[in-house]
Amino acid sequence: MTGATRIAVIGGGPGGLYAAALLKRLDPAREVTVWERNAPDDTFGFGVVLSDETLGGIEHADPVVYEALRGEFVRWDDIDIVHRGTRHTSGGHGFAALGRRRLLRILHERCRSLGVELRFRTPAPPPARLSQAYDLVVAADGVHSATRAAYADVFRPRVTGHRCRYIWLAADFAFDAFRFEIAETEHGVVQLHGYPYAADASTVIVEMREEVWRAAGFAAMDEQESVEHCAKIFADALGGHPLRSHKSAWTTFRTVVNERWSHGNLVLLGDAAHTAHFSIGSGTKLAVEDALALAACLEEQPSLAEALTAYEEERRPVVASTQRAARASLEWFENLGLHLDQPPRQFAFNLLTRSRRVTHGNLRLRDPRFTEAVEREFGCPPGTPPMFTPFRLRGLTLRNRVVVSPMDMYSAADGVPGDFHLVHLGARALGGAGLVMTEMVCVGPEGRITPGCTGLWSGKQAEAWRRITDFAHRQSPGTAIGVQLGHSGRKGSTRLMWEGMDEPLPEGNWPLVAASPLPYTPDSQTPRQLTRAQLTDIREQFIGATLRAARAGFDLLELHCAHGYLLSGFLSPLTNHRTDAYGGSPAKRLRFPLEVFDAVRGAWPEERPMTVRISATDWAEGGTTAEEAVEIARAFAAHGADAIDVSTGQVVAEERPEFGRSYQTPFADRIRHEVGVPVIAVGAISSWDDVNSLILAGRTDLCALARPHLYDPHWTLHAAAEQGYEGPAAVWPAPYRAGSRRPRTGRTDAPRPRLTLGG
C-alpha cells in the first residue's frame, strides 16, 4: 500500500466521488477532501447507464454502494429502432439505469458516512498548490478540465471536435426500451436517443448535424424554445408528452485523448483523461472503472509512482478500445444520412452493430429471431451465413464474400513467380476464399518495390503465372484468382521487407520515377518527375502487362492506385506537386490514373471484372480527405470500375493512422453508399463474425483479409466449419474432407462425482 494519507479530489462527479469513497474505505485514516464548484444537485444530463461488468466491480469493491444502487435501477432488455414509420425491436441486450441525481446522492451519502469531506460550491485551489499540500491529487474535473489545461505540456492532450450538436433533455414517462428514432425533417436528419432511468422518467438526447441545427433555427432559440421544438419533432415517440430541461444547452461532443495521465502526485480520472461518445453509454462507466482501478493500484503497489504507472497501464488499453468503439458509433450517427434508404431491418441491424462491439454473432445469441429476419431480407438461404452468399462482378460470380488480400511475398527471381508462389497462392485457393488476389505484380523492372517482387513484363513471367492460375482453377473449382497490377513509383528500389522495409538497397539500386521529385523518407532515393513521354511509356507497360495477365488466365484485374505507389502518388496532393495538366486540382491529379485505367480496361477482356484499390485517406494533414476519396471512387466507377477496393494510408511516411479493428471499413461504407459502387473492405478484419457483420449491415460487399490468411490458409473453410455451414460456397477439396471437422484433443466425457460428503 502506498503512503498517500492526504488526498485531494477535484470534481464531484460520479468518478471523483466514487474514488474518494473507495480510497477512504480502504484506509479510514486517510484525509480525503472533494472540491466541487457546483451545488450538490447541479448535474449535466438526467439518466446514467451502467453495465453488469461495472456493477460487478462495484459490488466487490463496496457492497454498500452496490446495494443502494441495486434498489434504484430500472432494467430492460430491448432496443427499439424507429425509421420511416417502421419500428423494429431487438431483445436480449440487458441495460440498467438510474437517475444521475440519485446516483450522486448515493455517493454523497457514502462519502459522508465514511468521513470524506465534501466542499460544494467551492472551486478547488490551483492544482500546483494542492500538489504541494496533499500526497495525491485526483483530477476528476471533467471534459473541460482546468487541471489538464494547467499541465497541457505534460499531459499533451488532443481534443477533437465533431460534427453534431446535441442536447440532454428528459420526459416524465418511461420508455419501454432503449429507443432510437430517426426524423427526416425539411432541414435534414434529426435523431433521438432515449432510455428510461426511473419508473416515470426517461433521458432524451436529441442530436443532428451542425448544418441541420442551424437550418432548423435552433441557433436563434432560447432553451425553452429548443425544448418545445424537439418535443414537436418527436411527438409520436413521446406520445405527446412534453420534454423538460435543466440548464440544458446545445453542445458538440469533444473526444479527449491524453498522452499521459499523471504528473508527479497528480492523476487524471474520467472525462479529464478521456471521453467516449454518449451513444455507447460509456462516460460514467469509464469514470467509475477508473476509480476502481486507481484505488486497487494504490492498494497493491508499494509507492505512489508505481501505483500511478500501474493505473495507467491497466486502464489505457481498455479506454482506447472503448474510444475506438465510441468513435465508430459517433461517426455512424454523423453520417446517418448514408443509410436511410436501406431496407428497414438492415438499417436496424446496421445501427445495432455500428460500434463494431455488437456483432452478427452477438445478435444471433441475444435475439435469433430478429437476426434471422435480417438475414432473410438480405437474401441468405436458410442456414447460410451472410459471408457465404454469392456476389457477381460483371461476368464473374464469386461463390462467397471472402477475398485473400494482396500480400507482397518478396520471393520472386527476376520478377518470375516460382514454387513458393504456387504453394502460397495454391494453398489459399484450396482454403475456400471466393477470390484470391496476387501480390502487387509490377509492370516493369523499374516498377518493382524490391528485387524480390513479381512482374508481368515478360512472356516467361506470364507462363509462370499461368501455372498458378491453372492449379487454382483445376484443384479448387469455383475459386477465382485475381491479379493486382501496379508500379512502385517513389517507393521502389528498397530492401526485402524483413531486411529493412522502405530502406534503400545497399547496392544495385535502379532509378525511380514519380509524379513529383519527392523522396518517401529522408533516406530514400529522390525520384525523377515523369515527363509526358515517360507517362506514355508507363501506360504502355500497363497495357502489355494486362494482355499477359489475360493470357495467364486471371479472372479479375485490380489496378493499384493506393499506398503511395506510382498511381497513388498522382492522386494525393502531398505527393503530386506538378503544375502541368497532371497536377493541381483533384481532376488534374486524377488524369493520369484514369488514362491508365482506360487503357487497361480496353485491353482487359470485356466479360472479366476490373477493380481499383485506393487510399481513402492519407492520415496526414493536407492529404487526401474522405470527401475527395468519394470523388476519386466516383471517377473510377464512371470509367467502368466494377468495384473499389478501399484501403487507406501508406502514402506519406509521416502518417498518423487511427488503427483498430475494422478501422478502414467506414471509408468503404461511405463510398458504397455515396457512389453506389460495390466495395471491398480491408483493414484489421480478423474474424468471420466481423465479415458477417459488415456484409449483413450493408457496409461492404466483399471483405479482404491478409494476416488471417497467413495464419491459416484454410481460414474460410474453417469459418464455415465453425458455423456449421456445409453448402456450395465453401467446398472442401476431396483430399481434405476428412479434416473438415476439428480434431479431438482430449477426453471430455469423464464421469462427474455423484456425491459430495461434508467433513
- Give the chain's radius of gyration (CA, Å): 29
Residues 415-442, buried b or exposed e (16+ Cβ, 10 A)?
A: bbbeeebbebbbebbbbbbbbbbbbbbb
Residue 754 confidence (pLDDT) = 38
Task: Answer whether 0.75 is exceeded by the pTM.
Answer: yes
Which contacts (CB < 8 Å, 24+ apart) does range 668-671 have?
Answer: 668/616, 668/644, 668/699, 668/700, 669/338, 669/699, 669/700, 670/335, 670/338, 670/626, 670/629, 670/630, 671/616, 671/629, 671/630, 671/633, 671/644, 671/646
Q: CA 692, CA 719: separation in Å to the nearest integer?
A: 11
Residue 756 confidence (pLDDT) = 45
The rounded average pLDDT for each run of 10 residues, N- to C-terminus, in the chain (759 residues) is 85 95 94 94 78 77 86 90 93 89 93 96 95 97 96 96 95 94 96 94 96 96 95 95 92 96 97 94 87 94 96 95 93 94 94 93 94 95 96 97 95 95 97 97 96 96 98 95 97 87 88 96 94 97 98 98 96 97 96 98 98 96 94 98 96 88 91 97 93 96 96 96 94 87 65 46
What residue type is 409 in one-letter code?
M
Phi, psi of 214 (to 5 degrees): -70, -45
Residue 395 confidence (pLDDT) = 96
What residue type is 363 in one-letter code?
L
* Residue 247 CB neighbours (<10 A): 10
Residue 750 confidence (pLDDT) = 52
HEC letters along 135-155: CEEEECCCCCCHHHHHCHHHH
Q: CA 124, CA 339: separation in Å to the nearest integer?
A: 47
Q: Which residues are catalytic?
A: 565
H helices present in 513-583, as ranges: 532-551, 566-571
Residue 477 confidence (pLDDT) = 92
* Residue 727 CB neighbours (<10 A): 16
Q: CA 696, CA 402: separation in Å to the nearest integer?
A: 13
Residue 508 confidence (pLDDT) = 86
Which run of H or E residues covers position 205?
strand 201-209
Query: Cβ-count burial of 612 within 10 angstroms (0-12 exposed, 13-18 middle, 19+ buried)?
Result: buried
* Residue 475 CB neighbours (<10 A): 14
- Altogether, the residues listed in the chain come to a count of 759
In 470-595, the DSSP E strands lie at 480-486, 513-514, 528-529, 556-561
Q: CA 54, CA 288: separation in Å to the nearest integer?
A: 8
What residue type is 94 in one-letter code?
G
Q: 289 in helix, strand or coil?
A: helix
Q: CA 692, CA 127: separation in Å to the nearest integer?
A: 50
Q: CA 408, CA 289: separation in Å to the nearest integer?
A: 43
| Cell numbers 479431438: residue | 744
Residue 723 confidence (pLDDT) = 95
Expressed in angstroms, the distance from the first to the final Cα of the chain is: 38
Q: 132 in helix, strand or coil?
A: helix
For residue 124, give the DSSP letter. P
| Cell numbers 448535474: residue | 43
Q: Quick one: cell of 577?
A: 506537386
